[in-house]
Structure 1
């Protein structure tokens, strides 16, 4: 029976321990040993084979069950104190029971086709909120003549407004296009799926002129999908890039490289929207663009990436035709400034369909964070400061108390509070998000383990939930990386963790299971707050830090905003658990206003250099007057003095000229040089472009073609300069290099003696520009060693362990370098090196290694690796078992493939009876997909031969 909602602390769920399981083993004598079975050179020898098989019962014996602390009410009859974020006082913004026809998307004034309205209904959107109606009906928005900047709380439905306006622009003209710009790849993937469902089956009606042109075109000239709305996601990492003509709605990130601002995980790999706009402006196809949506507009203030969003918007404002700009965020403070910059209508609301109650947890006591006064009183009460006589006592007292724990694991009061609040939520049948500041040690994985140990009792759970968790374990175990030991321990209790150390496939499975309620507790790094849409009944912050620094007010609002599931919860709750030393800072943070947005162009001189280089390269400006006109359209012009702006522009133009990126003649007319154009075309930062230019010139003088290390080095991205080198591993790998690899090190200027010195505890100087460049080459070569192992069939999880790097980081490296290599080829072509025989040879080799890296396999497995689910290790196992061609797998019975798939799994754990049967069922379903994919590939391969034979017979 479902527990009553809204009474979490009074609801319990009795549980018992899962039955202990035993495993049988399968001997694979005579079979090839894989990287997963062999420890790296720096690790201890593997244990005896008998010890490689772990019994499920061993977990219970080695890790005893724990009990979460009880949480008691101070006053059971206490009134509920609404928080400043609950918006319970904003009654006017809440839809009433009175019928309002304008809340229906079919309302004539919105002008939406019935097919689109029906698609929204099928996705659960039957009508809109009052604030959404008021926003959409703002002046000039529905007809696209006015830009829009608006703010609404997380979970308030702000994305729907942008979707409607964007779709109207795309539907009103069959040639029109739109861009949706998001900060994270995870959001791009999610949004692409959503929009494809929204536009499914909708046809755009062409004009009379277009209809006439289509009738004149032959069948071979027509596109099969030319009347549909094509939604394309730009994820990066692939060799085949969608062009401006391949989509109607493009969903992309605004940053191409991966940079970490904090020691938490922010996934930023994707195609740069800024680069896409540059290309369209340069080739004049930009005239088809009708709408651009800038999500998370508050990131204009981001130190590393905000200026890119500013460049995007400024270029749009500089175009001769109108493009509707729609900017939105949950955390915008000076919205008036942005309105003046973008010439936009503004709308702001505090409405949330699910209100949030907020609490501060300190020393095991829970205080309502209802107002500034309440927060101060909570601080005084927690600090045992005597209150003034006229202060209302009940407001300063805790409303609930988390009892101390008898377990040594929970002696830390903050950890004890986090576990108690999470367990209470799960046992009440709801979901909780726990935010931590790091991945390991005292972070995500540690918290997930401890919480799971208090939730081992699952006897009262529905059998369907237990089955679903076993399915999730089987899915995780069937991945190429195998089942993570920590997830193996936590998932059966309904607990998991989510961070960038996991692979994309692991994160997708975990997020989906949590969203469906299979998992009740998800422990995540802070970046998840903005990186993916996973709401919860209760959000718990394990302190308010990201690494060593306190989170900012915007990030705090993002994390809290995940509380409350629309349609599943009547209310959301957030608990910020803070330490005694952080109390004053945390209260100040909770009271702090959101930061004011300002331009990021002048915070680093390279940024305005890039802005000016771009507009000269794409011919938006060619003189000082046109440069000044462009600068006047930036946010910089509204947030800095004219004298400061002139100083920055003058010095930046001079720097660009001295670096050889632009040329200025006597009449002060600016033109881009070949090098400057190459940098813009390949989407490189100016400083990265200079580095690449030197590296390519060195490669033209001497390129080692009798091995793979030089080409892999050129294949390695240059963007991420935060790589930490394990010098002992570097030394070990260097000692294993052949003559070709050592020659590469010599050509690059890397000294084996320096590596040995560093491995013995030395330090690498990075004070002068020359020293910084040498350090950069060392880091790049270290990453190239990881790519070498991936290309030679070493699984991602083994490379991760070998180089002491998170699995997700290794996977990101593999995905990023393919797009980077393509950019390097563009760089060479733009530099006029395309005709050089050495460059052509290198391009061919890069293309080949791109295939190998994508497959994670050597050359002999590339054909097999095109089959769905068959990569690296699996392809090698098929090959070694006689399935050496696509045709062999296509003609096989799927049941024949199951034993091979079992052999290919990196995990040696074998389940028994029902669990083993379920696992084999999963593998049989996978085998059927593999066989079907092989059949399709084989038919595609044989089709040209069939038509040639038919023609000969004819």
Structure 2
């Protein structure tokens, strides 16, 4: 255990009184990665769904033993003393022992709370400064006991003996325990997800409220569902998938236990709206947002900004720059550290030379890879970066496009030596057999051939089942090399000893710093590797200049996507349709203005009042919103239809215009062409090759 020193952290409370409180901080073994905790909590403010909790929650009781006075002794579950920082192997416990431990732990918690007669609900202050009903004990000590019990339960379920120092500090931080919103900002692979899982389990098992885990892509939803399903059956936890066409709206109301809804960004918004409509939003206790920096992306960022309006918000990211603005928007405490479990070395390959990137961004010559005509012709010497790693270690090769993934996979598989081809041959055949059984048709011949040689590709062109089989084979060491696109870097947990970025591009666009950090964050496997390497291949002086500017430049700020008219109009329509607060009525202009000012958009834009007026006039003009004589806004039938269909007002206007024209001018029924044209979604851009169209 690394030594700890005592430090003073400044805490600013809502009464504008500054006080100093002692806090233990960690000084890690390298002496250069101190843990920094920013516990400044901004002003109170009514935000979005703030007052929906007031006097709405009905008293709830946890199951208890009544007058039972029998003392339970927690059975000792035998397992090895495994440090999460030093080993990845974990011994499986029997289900009977784990279930017994979980049940007895919950019984002890219930007995400690002594809830037999007095009801379990107590009013506490949330991170936003708004009073709502929370299942919590009257003393702060019980909250710490809750977290301690869940940590012990989690360690036994996952067979983990110790946490990282920063995880221990974060979980025992009073802001985390008391329900304050938190932003966790640290490197990829540092163990942020473990903290999120423990917080969600506490909310579901002890406080009997459901949680939403928001991730950016369908593939990550499926991976998280698979990982969290481990707790089903061992605890009163239901794990439900909300992605693509999966997920019931509103969700099933569970009589016993709570749910963890794992959802994509769009599905999370629909899920929350459906709960508000049926007056069940109080069921949500925690919302965890993975990759919080995506709040700055165009379309999806605006949706994230809208959904962060209920419960305790836990935002996680490795690439946040304007943390101060985000903490002000979420009214959140910030926990940040530079800790990384495995040392990372960044390198650049230019021509035949390999350079190491120093801490300040300078490039230091390391070695000359040598001349090899054959390899130099094929993929600019990519294979030179593989021969010293494979098959003992694993490699991820990030490619700009899906087609490039397959091309590189084909090239690398043909160059694999016989020793690699013969290695784990039976396991490779089993993986191919699994692919055939999962696929509706025979899998790609290239995929079959490459897997037999320890190589595979991974992109959105594969089905979810095919990607899962490839991921499992990679983690088991059956496949040593995966050629993938940038989406694999954004949350899919596939770390490797060496990361190779085939070109500093995503599609045709230059690689941005956030994407670069996500990719290189996959280098190094805690418990398996003592270090990780990330090598970027540069092909031209132009690419070199762009790359150096990127790594030496700052991270771009997360700017609100509500600046876009389409996003802002959807946001306002949601506000007026849902009437989000029962105490802060969002019907008049002044009330709408208060809500808008508490968004990230309102914080970053001083002229939000003028933009609000313009957008309300637009919504009124196109018939989605009407204004009464007293100045209050309400949605029309058309507006409610647009809201229910999750369309933006701009898209809805285009659809209404098209349908009106078809009704007035007629529909051509001599062929299916006109009907098919009407069915094409507006949000899909189709580039038509008119030469091919004419020939067809």
TM-score per shorter chain, which class?
Answer: 0.7 to 0.9
Structure with the higher fraction of residues in helix conformation: 1
Q: Provide Cα deviations, 1:449-501, integer angstroms capped at 9, x if missing partner.
A: 11112214137854xx1111122223334422312132133111101111122
Local SS of the residue matching 2:446: helix
Give the Å deviation of 1:505: 2.7
| Residue of 449, 470, 480 corresponding to 2:429 | 470
CA distance in 1, matches of 2:320, 2:540: 31
1:229 is the counterpart of 2:237:
yes
Q: 5+ unaligned residues in a row in structure 1: which ranges? A: 1-85, 203-227, 256-271, 317-322, 379-395, 732-755, 761-954
SS at match of 1:305: helix
Summarize the Cα distance change of 1:569–1:110 in structure 2 as closer, same or farther, 3 Å threshold. Answer: farther
Tell me the equivalent position of 1:402.
Answer: 369
Taking structure 1 as reference, are residues 177 and 619 closer, same or farther at Cα in structure 2, changes over 3 Å only?
A: same
- Correspondence list, 1:50-61, <5 A: none
Distance 1:694 1:667, change over 3 A: same
Q: Which residue of 2 aligns with 1:138?
A: 173
* Within-5 A mapping of 1:414-813: 415-427=379-391, 429-440=392-403, 443-458=404-419, 461-462=422-423, 465-478=424-437, 479-581=439-541, 582-602=543-563, 604-620=564-580, 621-641=586-606, 644-694=607-657, 718=681, 720-727=683-690, 731=693, 756=694, 759=695
Q: For residue 33 of structure 1, what is the aligned residue in structure 2? A: none
The structural deviation recorded for 1:664 is 1.1
Q: Distance in 2 between matches of 1:347 and 1:565?
A: 23
- Cα distance change of structure 1 residues 680 and 172 upon mapping to structure 2, 3 Å threshold: same
How far apart, in 2, do the equivalents of 1:608 and 1:161 lie? 33
Higher Rg? 1
Matched, 1:188 2:155: no
Give the Cα–Cα distance (whole angstroms) in 2 for the partners of residues 709 and 294 of structure 1.
Answer: 43
Q: Cα 1:199–1:704, aligned 2, differ >3 Å: closer, same or farther? A: farther
What is the CA deviation profile of residues 173-205 of structure 1, one whole-angstrom value per residue up to 9, with x for unaligned ones? 33x221111111111111112222135321xxx
Residue matched to 2:188: 154
Query: Would you say the 8 A contact 2:192–2:316 is kept in 1?
Result: yes
Change in CA separation of 1:177 and 1:546 when aligned onto 2, cut-off 3 Å:
same
Question: 2:355 maps to what in 1?
Answer: 367
Q: Residues 240 and 276 from structure 1, CA distance in 2 versus in 1: closer, same or farther, beyond 3 angstroms? A: closer
In structure 1, the residue corresponding to 2:461 is in which secondary structure? coil
Q: Is the 8 A contact 1:116 1:199 kept in 2?
A: no
Shift of 1:405: 2.1
Show the counterpart of 1:842: none
Give the superposition deviation at 1:649: 0.7
Q: What CA distance in whole angstroms lies between the structure 2 residues aligned with 1:178 and 1:124?
A: 23
Higher mean C-alpha deviation, range 516-525 or range 528-537? 528-537
Which whole-Å deviations, capped at 9, do the CAs of 1:402-456 have from their partners, x for residues lacking one? 222222x6326xx3332221233214x100000010122xx11111111112214
Matches within 5 A, 1:244-263: 245=253, 248-255=259-266
* Structure 2 residue ranges without an equivalent (≥5): 1-27, 37-80, 85-101, 106-140, 581-585
CA deviation vs aligned residue, 1:855-900 (integer Å, no higher than 9, x gap):
xxxxxxxxxxxxxxxxxxxxxxxxxxxxxxxxxxxxxxxxxxxxxx
2: CA distance between counterparts of 1:725 and 1:200? 52
1:25-78 C-alpha deviation (Å, 9 max, x unpaired): xxxxxxxxxxxxxxxxxxxxxxxxxxxxxxxxxxxxxxxxxxxxxxxxxxxxxx
| CA contact 1:119–1:197 (8 Å) conserved in 2 | no
Task: Name the CA distance, whole Å, in 2 between partners of 1:239 and 1:191.
Answer: 15
Cα distance change, pair 326–277 in 1 and its aligned pair in 2 (3 A): same
Change (3 A) 1:459 1:512: closer
Note if contact 1:538-1:573 (Cα within 8 Å) is conserved in structure 2. yes
Note the C-alpha offset of 1:607.
1.2
Match of 2:197 among 133, 139, 163: 163
Question: How far apart, CA to CA, are the structure 2 residues paired with 1:87 and 1:564?
Answer: 18
- Shift in CA distance, 662/115, structure 1 to aligned 2, threshold 3 Å: closer
**Moved beyond 6 Å, runs of 4+:** 105-108, 698-714
User: 2:579 and 2:150 mapped to 1: Cα distance?
Assistant: 41
Residues 472-481 or 296-305, more deviating:
472-481
Specify the alignment match of 1:111 in structure 2. Answer: 146
1:348 aligns with 2:336: yes
Which structure has the highest strand share of the two? 2
Aligned to 1:274: 269
| Alignment check: 8 A CA contact 1:688 1:718 kept | no
Residue number in structure 2 paired with 1:312? 307
How far did 1:727 drift? Answer: 4.9
What does residue range 119-138 of structure 1 map to in structure 2 within 5 Å? 119-138=154-173
- The answer to whether the 8 A contact 1:186-1:531 is kept is no
The count of corresponding residues between Structure 1 and Structure 2 is 559
Change in 2 beyond 3 A, CA 1:238/1:340: closer
CA distance in 2, matches of 1:197, 1:424: 37
Q: 1:571 to 1:200 in 2, by over 3 A?
A: farther
What SS class does the counterpart of residue 399 from structure 1 fall into?
A: strand
**1:502–1:288 distance in 2 versus 1, CA, 3 Å:** closer
Q: So what's the TM-score if we normalise by structure 2?
A: 0.74
Q: CA deviation at 1:687?
A: 2.5
Distance in 1, Cα, partners of 2:328 & 2:248: 40
Structure-2 separation of matches of 1:654 and 1:698:
24
SS in 2 for 1:309: helix
Q: Determine the C-alpha separation between the residues in 2 that align with 1:514 and 1:665.
A: 62
Residue by residue over 1:751-785, the C-alpha shift from the partner in whole angstroms, topping out at 9 and shown as x without a partner, is: xxxxx3xx59xxxxxxxxxxxxxxxxxxxxxxxxx
Alignment partner of 1:357 is 2:345: yes
**Normalised TM-score (structure 1):** 0.55
Partner of 1:828: none
CA–CA distance in structure 2, aligned partners of residues 423 and 592 of structure 1: 33
| Alignment correspondent of 1:90 | 32
Q: Does the residue aligned with 1:588 lie in a helix, a strand or coil?
A: helix
What whole-Å deviation, never above 9, does each CA across 1:112-133 have from its counterpart, x for those lacking one?
A: 5868744543434322111111
- Give the Cα separation in 2 of the matches to 1:346 and 1:301: 18
DSSP 3-state at the match of 1:273: helix
How many angstroms apart in 2 are the aligned matches of 1:337 and 1:448? 43
Instruction: Give me the CA root mean square deviation.
Output: 3.2
